[in-house]
Amino acid sequence: MQKTRSFHRRKMVVIFLGCALLLLLLIGRLAQLMIADSEHYATLAKDLHERERSIKAARGRILDRNGTVLADNRTVCTVSVIHSQIEEPERVITVLAKELSLSEETVRKRVEKVSSIERIRQNVDKEIGDRIRSYNLAGVKVDEDYRRYYPFGSMASKVLGFTGGDNQGIIGLEVEYEEELSGTPGRILTLTDARGVELPDTGESREEPVAGSDLVTSLDYNIQKYAEQAAYQVMEQKQADSVSILIMNPQNGEIYAMTNVPEFDLNDPYTLLPEYLPETAEGAAGTDGENALAAGQVVSAAADGQGVSAENAGAQSVSAAAEGQVASAADAAGLSGEALQDALNRMWRNGCINDTYEPGSTFKIITASAGLEAGVVSLNDGFSCPGFKIVEDRRIRCHKVGGHGAETFVQGIQNSCNPVFIEVGLRLGVDRYFAYFDQFGLNQKTGIDLPGEAATIMHKKENVGEVELATISFGQSFQITPVQLAATVSSIINGGIRVTPHLGVRVQDRDGTLLGVFQHEDGRRILSEETSKTMRYLLEQVVDGGSGKNAYIEGYRIGGKTATSETLPRSANKYISSFIGFAPADDPQVLGLCIINNPQGVYYGGTIAAPVIRGMFENILPYLGIERA
């Protein structure tokens, strides 16, 4: 009996100790939750009862070199609904469909969707947003944010680029300098109960957004305007497919203007220009289809014999950039989404950097520089041009069928005589010519601060014989970008220092406080100062009395070179007319390149492209403070 009583006592003690231990564990866990982990669980509870709406940051502006605003922001609204808070769903559907110009079916799907917050429409004009706010509809939220706005519409459209609905850059400078321009979004936080309904009288807490930095570029509004007016004028006169003009400082690589007309409206970038609609797309493609190799014909041929990859064609795809806008635009244009995206990509392409072309006689500047630097030719060397030159089994003709007769090297470059430059190329030989091609930087991209730069398309050295070398020497059978030609010629005439063409100069606060200056690689010597000086003299002779005489301006020393090249396939009889010029010839401060794609009628570069640069320089030189001699 006593043993039984003792056993029960021990049993009770064990149970008591077990309960006490369990109680201590519970007290310890409670202390951990309430003290040690209190902050963590308070945060979880707060998150559970907080609803977050983002606030877009004001995107940094893009300015020209003089402070003119080229890209800015406008206040717009985002209209959203919170399903759990809607009290009059039919009224909400009716009002939003009417004010936002949407179908009731579209609005109904979003209003009736069970979610914490459903966006109905972004980028709503502030006036409309204020009007919706005035209805005081429960569950409807109207938040203000920003939409990109371009004060000058289509100006420099393919350089500046534009942003999508998420306010992120899609092409051009907008995407290249996304990190500097984008800023940091803010938040609006509201408290809700367990059902997700906002608690009354709790107010909202805000985390203010941080605006992006302003980007100051080397573009000059006035020079850009001159360039676009000149490009549109010659495009209309010559019924050309497209015209590109590039104006830059050859001393430091700063780009003052870059236009590729036709330009598109930056404030409406998803509306196709007539030139890019299906019935005219073939003609509008210009260098994109035939000279830039984007259609694949020449890329395939190059890959067969020259080992060129399709990447070198410089095609830039933005197919994933803004699917909603593309779909809407497809409906408006009557195209499938894929067909429309292809047309938009063609319209958005920057021909100065995304497309390659055969430079023709402007490339004789490179051949002449290499020949002089290597010592295989001098100014007084004599040549004979009967109108052609036999190379191996090929008869390669000069543009002057009757020939130029006896001429010096100076006269050869004045006359843009093919046989003279074939002879210089052959004197250099394949190995030495390709060495100078590398030395001048032509086998690398320029490094311009714009996306999608195409690379040079050139024969593999082992596939180059005398015939190929002869055609390369006067600018045919290979392709480069316009910006590569401009950068290389700049480097040849500025004393022999390679420059990096660029647009970004610095970033600053909206009040002008400097935040940083961009560094662009340059300073590599590619040519001796003596050869550079000789090239300036030779190119001045081209304008003074040679093929570039239509670029002459009284009182100014102008240097330059003309070109007329035939596009592929040669049987199409389509041409590219171009002229590259600089001034003053003895101390170049500005360089201009004009390329006219498929002009009708007279197509010689000296006749139609040189006058374009002359007209540009007549405006630009006084504007830059360069006086007549």
CA–CA dist 171, 241 (Å, integer): 22
CA–CA dist 58, 167 (Å, integer): 9
CA–CA dist 126, 101 (Å, integer): 15
Select from 219, 325, 195, 215 the least CA-distant residue to 272. Answer: 325
Please give the torsion angle defined by the CA atoms of residues 188, 191, 197 and 202, in that order, rounded to the nearest 10 degrees: -100
The pair of structure tokens assigned to 170 is 């899609």
| DSSP code per residue over 477-518 | SSBB-HHHHHHHHHHHHTTSEE---B-EEEEE-TT--EEEE-
324 — alpha (psi -120 to 50), left (phi > 0) or beta? alpha
Select from 567, 579, 570, 591 the least CA-distant residue to 241. Answer: 567
Q: What's 594's DSSP letter?
A: E
Q: Are 462 and 517 in contact (CB under 8 A)?
A: no
Catalytic site residue 528? no
Instruction: Say which residues have a Cβ less than 8 Å from residue 367's Cβ, sequence separation at least 6.
Output: 421, 424, 425, 428, 473, 474
CA–CA dist 511, 527 (Å, integer): 43
The pair of structure tokens assigned to 476 is 């045919």
Can you tell me which residue has the tokens 């195409």? 454
State which amino acid sits at residue 26: L
Q: Which of 157, 242, 244, 361 is catalytic?
A: 361
Strands 62-63 and 214-217: parallel
Q: Are 539 and 588 in contact (CB under 8 A)?
A: no
The pair of structure tokens assigned to 299 is 């890329």
CA–CA dist 317, 348 (Å, integer): 10
Active site residues per annotation? 361
